[in-house]
């Protein structure tokens, strides 16, 4: 049965207007109730997810994609993140920049919902819950379009969310899932500019490019992360090895996982073998440049880097190793190959650290920490709807405030303009 995208847009627009009447307390109560429902119906969700995983294995999806798709063991933390969003301050209605003009007009800005969000995503069914939590908290309606590989999981999650909202008398159609994997509906969603206020794609470069080229709705893109750590000659190498290990191994299939280390030449003979020995314990494979190869002789899982390897987001247990002369060459490499997501320096030199933080133009820049922290929950946002690598409106993890706009409030006393 064909999906009526025009009707979905109309319903979302009406729902967004109705949602503005709900208080922060009502929205928070809804989030707690949904979180409880997700845990109560966990078996129903996991059964649907198991079917998606079975099909994914049959279709030969990579281990990284299977990891993204799986909800096994993750529902408690997903529910916990939703409850955490309920504890956060509600940005809607917050007023700022208040002042009185010389003519006596009183003006200020007030935060308001964006309206209707269209979120297009792949592989990760947890995004369904994260988006709903942030959208409800900020009084936005949302139209969801997940990937075909997660359709059953997303339907199960959306059904439970919709049933819960209906039971507590929230406006209908606040949350709508496009329950058809036909790609035509992605194109249709991108053209609903009469109803949708923002498109947020979460997926690979191909999806982002398609959205930018075909949307008549404003698009915020990001989430593609070719992430670097530069290890300066002054770095504490013991700490550096463990930071590199965490950034690569802790969860390699996500956008903030490490892809390339840049090693200052003076410490390469010491650091490169240590990194390989440590990460090889987790079955990491290494793509090394010609100079790094000198220090990797006889080490397992090492091969020469190819010309495109510095521009690859690995999303798996692969790490590029590139030796550089110093900070200038590291900055040059990052500015050429980074996707402006998450890049960091490991150093004890305050001057080098400050130069790095100032000159690397990524959404998140780190000094002496793993890139794995670029995450809405880790940044104290409760959850994130995306990680934006753009420069307009929002950068980095997009939490509650990034899903609002503002309007000017102007009060006078019979004022007229001369």
Asked if 130 and 264 sit in the same domain, the reply is no
Mean local confidence (pLDDT), 47-52: 97
Which two tokens mark 322? 């590139």
Shared-domain flag, residues 134 and 262: no
CA angle 325, 327, 328 (to 5 degrees): 85
Mean per-residue pLDDT, 294-317: 91
Token pair of 130 as six digits: 């994260």
Residue with tokens 């995983």: 53
Q: Tell me the per-residue pLDDT of 106-137, one tens digit each, with 9 for 90 and over.
A: 999 999 999 999 999 988 899 999 999 999 99
* Same domain flag for 204 and 259: no
Same domain, 189 and 205: yes
Hey, what are 9's tokens?
Answer: 């847009």
* Same domain, residue pair 50 and 152: yes
pTM: 0.83
Q: Are residues 202 and 245 in the same domain?
A: no
**What percent of the chain is predicted at pLDDT more than 90?**
83
* Statement: residue 223 has pLDDT above 70: no
In a domain, 378, yes or no: no
- Residues 91-117 have a mean pLDDT of 97
In this structure, what are the phi and psi dihedrals at residue 266, rounded to the nearest 5 degrees?
Answer: -65, -25
Kindly state whether residues 79 and 211 are assigned to the same domain.
yes
Write out the residue range of the structural domain in which residue 69 sits: 5-220+398-411
> For 99-108, 303-312, 341-350, 370-379, which range has the lowest pLDDT when averaged over its residues?
370-379
Model confidence at 334: pLDDT above 90: yes
The mean pLDDT value of the chain amounts to: 94
**Whether 174 and 268 share a structural domain:** no
Is residue 383 domain-resident? no
User: What local confidence, expressed as pLDDT, does residue 299 receive?
Assistant: 85
- Please report, rounded to a whole number, the percentage of residues in the chain having pLDDT higher than 70: 99
Give 361-365's long-range contacts (Cβ < 8 A, gap of 24+): 361/335, 362/334, 362/338, 362/389, 363/222, 363/387, 363/388, 363/389, 363/395, 363/396, 364/256, 364/396
d(CA 362, CA 233): 23
**Residues 312, 295 share a domain:** yes
Residue 396 has pLDDT above 90, yes or no: no
Whether residues 352 and 241 share a domain: the answer is yes
Residue 322 sits in a domain of what CATH number? 3.40.309.10
* Residue range 231-252: mean pLDDT, rounded: 96
**Of 190, 99, 90, nearest in space to 404 by CA:** 90
pLDDT for 204 equals: 78
| Whether residue 136 sits in one domain with residue 27 | yes
How many domains, the chain? 2
| pLDDT tier at 55, thresholds 50, 70, 90 | very high
- Segment 44-62 mean pLDDT: 95
User: Residue 382's pLDDT band (boundaries 50, 70, 90)?
Assistant: low
């Amino acid at each position: 049965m064909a999906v009526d995208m025009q009707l979905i847009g109309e319903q979302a627009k009406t729902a967004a207007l109705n949602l503005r009447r709900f208080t922060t307390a009502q929205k928070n109560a809804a989030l707690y109730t949904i979180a409880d429902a997700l845990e109560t119906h966990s078996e129903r969700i996991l059964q649907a997810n198991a079917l998606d995983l079975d099909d994914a294995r049959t279709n030969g999806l990579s281990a990284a994609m299977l990891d993204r798709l799986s909800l096994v063991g993750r529902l408690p933390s997903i529910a916990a993140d939703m409850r955490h969003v309920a504890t956060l301050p509600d940005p809607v209605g917050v007023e700022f920049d208040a002042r009185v003009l010389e003519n006596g007009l009183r003006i200020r800005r007030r935060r308001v919902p964006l309206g209707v969000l269209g979120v297009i995503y792949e592989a990760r069914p947890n995004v369904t819950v994260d988006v709903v939590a942030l959208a409800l908290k900020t009084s936005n309606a949302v139209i969801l379009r997940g990937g075909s590989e997660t359709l059953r999981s997303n339907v199960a999650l959306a059904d439970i969310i919709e049933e819960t909202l209906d039971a507590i008398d929230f406006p209908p159609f606040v949350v709508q899932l496009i329950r058809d994997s036909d790609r035509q509906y992605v194109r249709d969603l991108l053209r609903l500019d009469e109803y949708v206020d923002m498109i947020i794609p979460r997926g690979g470069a191909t999806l982002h490019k398609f959205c930018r080229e075909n949307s008549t709705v404003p698009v915020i893109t990001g989430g593609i992360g070719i992430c670097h750590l530069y290890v300066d000659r002054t770095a504490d190498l013991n700490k550096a090895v463990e930071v590199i290990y965490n950034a690569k191994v802790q969860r390699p299939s996500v956008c903030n996982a490490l892809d390339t280390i840049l090693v200052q030449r003076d410490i390469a003979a010491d650091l490169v073998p240590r990194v390989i020995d440590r990460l090889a314990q987790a079955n990491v494979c290494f793509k090394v440049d010609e100079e790094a190869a000198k220090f990797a002789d006889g080490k397992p899982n090492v091969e020469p880097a190819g010309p495109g390897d510095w521009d690859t987001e690995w999303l798996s247990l692969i790490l590029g190793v590139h030796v550089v002369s110093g900070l200038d060459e590291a900055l040059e490499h990052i500015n050429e190959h980074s996707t402006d997501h998450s890049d960091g320096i490991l150093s004890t030199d305050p001057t080098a650290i400050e130069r790095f933080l100032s000159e690397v133009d990524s959404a998140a820049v780190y000094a002496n920490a793993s890139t794995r922290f670029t995450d809405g929950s880790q940044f104290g946002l409760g959850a994130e709807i995306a990680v934006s690598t753009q420069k307009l409106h929002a950068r980095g993890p997009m939490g509650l405030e990034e899903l609002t706009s503002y309007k000017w409030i102007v009060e006078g006393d019979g004022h007229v303009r001369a």
